[in-house]
């Protein structure tokens, strides 16, 4: 009798809706409409790079209609090639590539093209025959980045103007070999060395754009008793490392040794203001909104510019103001 009563009550509850099949979860339409972007990023080697990643995350957000998949290649081209193949396999709508070096992209970009996925390149350039489309076969849709040789020229011209005929003994800290940032800035210094016979290159090595390697290299030069009065660091993080090494050795950066650097991150600008860095050339990492604009143009069926060079400037203690530093977001 008791069991019958329980069954009876269960039937009543079910009839009132308690046992109804759960309502189907409506498809998440917002999610489905998002534009999927695979971003192969160089790594996290510098403050510049981290600012660049943040800029991409902020612009290509779900609120703005995107789903961004980031792959950190840890400065290894092979990892970038694998990441791009994975993006193709996943069927993303767009691929954004920040290439670690200029060479070696022909095959994988041809694969992206065959899959019908537009590729946008940011920051550095890829091999120039592809870049200019000499073959008539354009492997990417749009490129956004810096003119690295122009940056290098600005640094070299500042040294020439500042020091005239004075002899300079230069340590050159390079970025990762084969990257446009290294190639462009190094080419400028090479030309400066040719033009100025009173300049001597006393040491040169790659610090891979990292602070730790910049410091290691300068510590080793100091330990070997090298005589120098200029450090030409191809980015701010290597300059920070070099400055730490000098200070630890009781040498005053900016006075005993002239420091020239690239990026002009906020911290570096503060060091220009306090005299530890003498000259810093801007390299703008805020490509997120620029990529967003290119994708939105493509979505509307428009043709974005094939090349966009970012406006950049440079700073020394005379041109820098506290207002510029305060407005620096990275």
Least separation in angstroms between CB 145 and ligand AHR: 8
Site string for ligand AHR, 124-153 (x = CB under 6 A): x-----------------------------
* Choice from 46, 141, 215, 314 touching ligand AHR (CB under 6 A): 46
Minimal distance in Å, beta carbon 98 to ligand AHR? Answer: 8
Q: How far is the CB of 206 from ligand AHR (least distance, A)?
A: 12
Minimum CB–partner distance for residue 148 and ligand AHR (Å): 7
**Structure tokens of 187?**
């080419």
Packed helices 106-114 and 77-90: angle between N→C axes, nearest 10 degrees: 10
Say how many residues touch ligand AHR, by CB under 6 A. Answer: 12
228 binds ligand AHR (CB under 6 A): no
DSSP code for 319 = T
Count Cβ neighbours within 10 Å for each residue of 120-130 and write b for 16 or more, e otherwise: bbbbbbbbeeb
Distance, CA of 101 to CA of 104 (rounded, Å): 8
Site string for ligand AHR, 173-192 (x = CB under 6 A): --------x-----------
Please state, in angstroms and rounded to a whole number, the distance separating the CA atoms of residues 43 and 198.
Answer: 38
Binder among 93, 102, 153, 263 for ligand AHR (CB under 6 A): 263
In terms of CB distance, is 147 or 296 closer to ligand AHR?
Answer: 147
Q: Strand 119-123: give its sheet, edge to edge.
A: 66-72, 35-41, 94-97, 119-123, 142-145, 307-309
Question: 68 pairs with which residues across the strands?
Answer: 37
Q: Among 209, 221, 232, 240, which residue interacts with ligand AHR (rule: CB under 6 A)?
A: 209
Q: Quick one: which segment of 15-23, 44-52, 89-97, 302-310 binds ligand AHR (CB under 6 A)?
A: 44-52
Residue 93 as a binder of ligand AHR (CB under 6 A): the answer is: no
From residue 325, alpha-carbon distances to 170, 227, 233, 242 in Å are 28, 33, 21, 22
Asked if 235 interacts with ligand AHR (CB under 6 A), we say yes
The DSSP secondary structure of 10-57, one letter per residue, reads: HHHHHHTTTTSPPPPPPP-HHHHHSEEEEEEE--S-SHHHHHHHHHHH
Distance CA 122, CA 42 (A): 11
Q: Does 315 bind ligand AHR (CB under 6 A)?
A: no
From residue 133, how far is each of 95, 129, 144 by CA, in Å?
Answer: 19, 6, 16
Range in contact with ligand AHR (rule: CB under 6 A) among 18-26, 43-51, 59-67, 273-281 = 43-51
Which residues of this protein are in contact with ligand AHR, per CB under 6 A? 45-46, 48-49, 123-124, 181, 209, 235, 262-263, 283
């Amino acid at each position: 009798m008791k069991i019958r009563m329980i069954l009876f009550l269960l039937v009543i509850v079910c009839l009132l809706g308690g046992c109804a099949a759960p309502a189907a979860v409506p498809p998440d339409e917002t999610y489905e409409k998002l534009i999927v972007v695979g971003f192969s990023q160089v790594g996290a080697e510098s403050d510049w790079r981290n600012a660049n990643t943040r800029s991409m995350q902020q612009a290509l957000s779900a609120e703005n209609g995107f789903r961004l998949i980031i792959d950190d290649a840890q400065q290894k081209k092979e990892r970038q090639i694998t990441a791009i193949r994975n993006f193709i396999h996943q069927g993303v709508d767009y691929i954004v590539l920040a290439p670690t070096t200029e060479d070696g992209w022909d095959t994988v970009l041809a694969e992206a093209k065959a899959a019908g996925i537009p590729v946008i390149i940011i920051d550095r350039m890829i091999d120039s025959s592809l870049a200019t489309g000499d073959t008539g076969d354009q492997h990417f849709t749009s490129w956004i980045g810096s003119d690295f040789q122009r940056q290098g020229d600005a640094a070299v011209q500042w040294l020439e103007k500042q020091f005239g005929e004075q002899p300079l003994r230069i340590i050159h800290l390079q970025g990762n070999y084969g990257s446009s940032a290294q190639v462009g800035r190094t080419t400028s210094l090479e030309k400066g060395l040719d033009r100025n016979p009173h300049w001597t290159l006393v040491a040169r090595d790659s610090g891979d754009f990292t602070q730790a390697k910049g410091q290691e290299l300068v510590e080793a030069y100091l330990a070997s008793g090298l005589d120098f009065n200029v450090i030409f660091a191809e980015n701010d993080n290597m300059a920070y490392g070099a400055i730490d090494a000098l200070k630890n050795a009781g040498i005053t950066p900016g006075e005993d040794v002239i420091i020239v650097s690239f990026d002009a991150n906020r911290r570096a600008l503060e060091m220009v203001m306090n005299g530890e860095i003498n000259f810093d050339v801007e390299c703008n990492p805020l490509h997120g909104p620029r990529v967003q604009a290119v994708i939105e143009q493509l979505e509307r069926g428009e043709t974005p510019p094939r090349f966009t060079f970012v406006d950049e400037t440079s700073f020394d203690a005379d041109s820098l103001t506290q207002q510029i530093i305060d407005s620096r977001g990275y």
